[in-house]
Structure 1
Amino acid sequence: MTKPNGISACSRRRFLRKSAGTMALLLAARAHLPHGAFAQSGGPEVTGAKLGFIALTDASALIVAKEKGFFAKHGVPDVEVLKQASWGATRDNLVLGSEGNGIDGAHILTPMPYLMTTGKITQNNVPLPMKILARLNLDAQAISIASAYADLTVGTDAGVLKKAFADKKAAGTPAKVAMTFPGGTHDLWLRYWLAAGGINPDADVETIVVPPPQMVANMKVGTMDCFCVGEPWNAQLVNQGIGYTAVNTAELWAKHPEKSFALRADFVERYPKTVEALLMAVMEAQQWCDDFANKEEMALIVAKRSWFNVPKTDIIGRLKGDYDYGNGKTVAQSPHFMKFWRDAASFPFKSHDAWFLTENIRWGKLPPDTDIKAQVGAVNGAELWRAAAKTLGVTDIPASDSRGPETFFDGKVFDPESPETYLASLAIKHTA
């Protein structure tokens, strides 16, 4: 029998069975693809990703991108920004990946993607290739000192602590100095500062690991003598009267790189359009965070219980560049406030990554024969940043992957073209 439209009943039944089968296959495929992978044609391959963060002010761009709708604007509304307990937990969840109930990427200490890619900090030394897509900020970490050392008025010169630390070691109770992860940025700032003052961080003190949100509580009960961490924890220490800030890390190296936004390399390879969307959202959030007209709102957002769970007063002052060091020193409108976008803060300069690798060679975290150029070439995604910035309409895109030679507070110069010369100039370093 033929229907009025010219299609036989038999043909119609075959067509319906075929259509139903096709739809079933499509639905099955969709169920096995993460984050709603059937995005509109030409858009992101998936509509979300799981991104980790630690409660530190330099994670603000990821939080703001979620709260202010920048992820949604760029076609990835299902991004989850998930609090991590420590940098170790961040590493472990990156190893798991979102398919293993972990995360796809994170706000992260810049050296960590390299240490993971080389397998230096992963279980059984199994490498996990990572990709750095953007820098999240410049400057504004700090080294804080316990109130017990108030009479020394410690500043950029760590040498004033040398005798006190030597006395503690001689008494069998070596000074404890805390950082957030071995080989991470805070570890390297603390080590550089101590070594410049003639204190060997491997021999003269005991270096311990404490997650950022636990720094103040540990200082309060007297388990450490000093620590290096990002904000708002240094400000909180001062606000609670437990200690004081010795030095803003920008006083050691002005406009220094700090945290990065990184993803698992397999995610980057699998979802290039999604990666571009994530990058554009983060870039817009960085621009928003860098606008001083937004600082009050930004502080209110990240201070929420769901994010940092701290009083706004622990965040807003230093966010605006107003520093109360807690030892009688105050600086209004300091040039060393946290930069999210200005001064090319978002661009992941390869020369900066080369310094982090060189310092990790200095302290024995990486072997002396590490091919710095090859490692940076594999992990640093400057070309991805440029492509996303161009799509976003950014005009001030750095032409070079290098910011050139960098000068530190003690006069040392790091030339990314000659890391070995820099290493040779350093008096205190790891010895096997």
Structure 2
Amino acid sequence: MKNITYYLKATFSWFVLPFIVLVLASAAPVKNDVSEKEVIRLGFIPLTDCAPIIMAKELGLFEKYGVNVEVTKEASWANVRDKILTGELDGAHCLFSMPFSVYTGIGGKAGSEMKVAMILNNNGQAITLSKDFCGKVGFKQTGKVASVVAAKLKADKEVTFAMTFPGGTHDVWLRYWLAAANVSQKTAKIITIPPPQMVANMKVGNMDGYCVGEPWNGVAVKQGIGFTEISTQDIWKHHPEKALVVNKKFSETRREDLKNVMKAVLEACKWLDNRANRKRAAEIIGKLPYVNAPADVIEARLMGDYNLGCDQGIEIYRDNYMLFHRNGETNLPRKSHAIWFMAQYMRFDYLKEAPDYNAIADKLILQDLYKEVATSMKIKIPEDDMKPFVIDLDKAKFDPNAPADYLKQVNSINQ
């Protein structure tokens, strides 16, 4: 009898028990541990619109899609450019127009390739002027572009404006605003300052105005050193702003990893466009490791509630504040938008000869890759690329198929 009992116990231990353990293990949830995978490094500049990358990290979305991502705070856009080109960063939150500026030799060594994988946001930048000009100018006050800017702002000294990168989005918004006010840009000094340093530089009088992303316009209002002259959504509603820009080799050799990074960021973009999530997003990205700015300022402008400063009151945006997904309308990287920016380079005398617009857009924009990722996630793909569009500020119509004709028509007094 003892022998039979021993035999049954042994049989259970050797055969049945391992089978039960195997069944239970297969039924348990599997944690997607990506810690052993090769690290993907994504940079960001301390701006509100770095939120898709930061929230993808904070919400565990990179891990969900099986990629091991490290996010790193960078000091300047030039720093981002250099690290993407050398491969020290695999990608970054980046000015949409930077790759075209760099490739054409404006913001870097001509021919250097940085690839645009997707757009991160529309809208949400602004031009801030010093409090010295309260009541003297004001798009919001008059409904018109200020006509007394640049040299007319101050008769006692040279007027200085700051932007964040030559040929970058902030640079173009500033120059476009000046041109719309019929002001020659040769009468103003335009300097480059990293976004987080804008407020401090204005406080000590290093410039009279600047164009930058949030929260640094809102912070200037909160500190009483400047006011919001115009928001970029008033210049061009739903303009492209930041993009996920990646290293060329990374895009070619780690295509599946890049697709999974994009999926995580796209999911974060959708999460951010739920207004109920924006307070939490503001609290997270406002922390020291990220933007390091007051959460209430970040939240207010994320919600579209703009205290303009200088007794201009509150401007409420509801369909054209900072948006990250817009049901798929935001994230497609459009070649027509790349051509528009390069046309501005011609208009503002950055380039002496017309670039090969279409070839450059085709080379630097990973549109097919984006469409593949969006399709896999059942995200709508807009069909408006390469169709004409109108800029709200001056009602100028741009046909990406005929940039030379556009340049003949626009006001080019700055040249």
Settle same-fold status: TM greater than 0.5.
yes
Question: What corresponds to 1:398 in structure 2?
Answer: 382
- Residue identity opposite 1:242 in structure 2: I
- Residue identity opposite 1:298 in structure 2: A
Question: What corresponds to 1:224 in structure 2?
Answer: 207
Distance (whole Å) between structure 2 residues aligned to residue 142 and residue 428 of structure 1: 23
Report Cα offsets for 1:292-342 as digits up to 9, x if no partner: 110011001101111011110120001001111113231234433101000
Q: Superposed, which structure 2 residues align to 1:7-406 within 5 Å?
A: 47-76=38-67, 78-97=68-87, 102-122=88-108, 125=109, 127-155=111-139, 157-162=144-149, 165-166=151-152, 168=154, 171=156, 173-201=157-185, 203-327=186-310, 328-342=312-326, 344-394=329-379, 396-402=380-386, 404-406=388-390
- Describe the shift of the 1:238–1:50 C-alpha distance in structure 2 as closer, same or farther (beyond 3 A): same
- Residue identity opposite 2:81 in structure 1: R
Bigger Cα displacement from structure 2, 192-201 vs 358-367? 358-367
What is the root-mean-square deviation of aligned Cα atoms in Å? 2.0
Question: What corresponds to 2:12 in structure 1?
Answer: none
Distance (whole Å) between structure 2 residues aligned to residue 225 and residue 255 of structure 1: 27
Number of residues of Structure 1 aligned to a counterpart in Structure 2: 377
Distance (whole Å) between structure 1 residues aligned to residue 384 and residue 38 of structure 2: 32
1:323/1:334 contact within 8 Å kept: no
Q: Is the partner of 1:106 in helix, strand or coil?
A: strand
| CA shift for structure 1 position 154 | 1.8
Where do 5+ consecutive residues of structure 1 fail to align?
Answer: 1-39
2:386/2:399 contact within 8 Å kept: no
- Describe the shift of the 1:243–1:95 C-alpha distance in structure 2 as closer, same or farther (beyond 3 A): same
- Describe the shift of the 1:287–1:211 C-alpha distance in structure 2 as closer, same or farther (beyond 3 A): same
Report Cα offsets for 1:363-416 as digits up to 9, x if no partner: 23334231101100111111111101122232x222353353223321211111
- Describe the shift of the 1:275–1:46 C-alpha distance in structure 2 as closer, same or farther (beyond 3 A): farther
| CA shift for structure 1 position 116 | 2.8
Distance (whole Å) between structure 2 residues aligned to residue 383 and residue 89 of structure 1: 28
User: Identity of aligned pairs, percent?
Assistant: 38
Distance (whole Å) between structure 2 residues aligned to residue 142 and residue 281 of structure 1: 28
Q: Is the partner of 1:50 in helix, strand or coil?
A: strand
Distance (whole Å) between structure 1 residues aligned to residue 289 and residue 75 of structure 2: 13
- Describe the shift of the 1:334–1:400 C-alpha distance in structure 2 as closer, same or farther (beyond 3 A): closer
Distance (whole Å) between structure 1 residues aligned to residue 37 and residue 346 of structure 2: 38
Distance (whole Å) between structure 2 residues aligned to residue 67 and residue 392 of structure 1: 21
Distance (whole Å) between structure 1 residues aligned to residue 51 and residue 387 of structure 2: 25
| CA shift for structure 1 position 280 | 0.6
Question: What corresponds to 1:34 in structure 2?
Answer: none
Bigger Cα displacement from structure 2, 356-365 vs 152-161? 152-161
Distance (whole Å) between structure 1 residues aligned to residue 374 and residue 411 of structure 2: 41
Distance (whole Å) between structure 2 residues aligned to residue 118 and residue 159 of structure 1: 32
1:47/1:274 contact within 8 Å kept: no
Q: Is the partner of 2:244 in helix, strand or coil?
A: strand
1:166/1:204 contact within 8 Å kept: no
Distance (whole Å) between structure 2 residues aligned to residue 50 and residue 211 of structure 1: 21
Match of 2:396 among 395, 409, 412: 412
| CA shift for structure 1 position 237 | 0.5
Q: Is the partner of 1:152 in helix, strand or coil?
A: coil
- Residue identity opposite 1:235 in structure 2: G
- Describe the shift of the 1:48–1:390 C-alpha distance in structure 2 as closer, same or farther (beyond 3 A): farther
- Describe the shift of the 1:285–1:335 C-alpha distance in structure 2 as closer, same or farther (beyond 3 A): same
Q: Is the partner of 1:90 in helix, strand or coil?
A: helix
- Residue identity opposite 2:115 in structure 1: K
2:172/2:344 contact within 8 Å kept: yes
Where do 5+ consecutive residues of structure 2 fail to align?
Answer: 1-31
Distance (whole Å) between structure 2 residues aligned to residue 429 and residue 93 of structure 1: 36
| CA shift for structure 1 position 158 | 4.4
1:152/1:160 contact within 8 Å kept: no
Report Cα offsets for 1:83-130 as digits up to 9, x if no partner: 110111111212221xxxx211111111211233345433xx363222
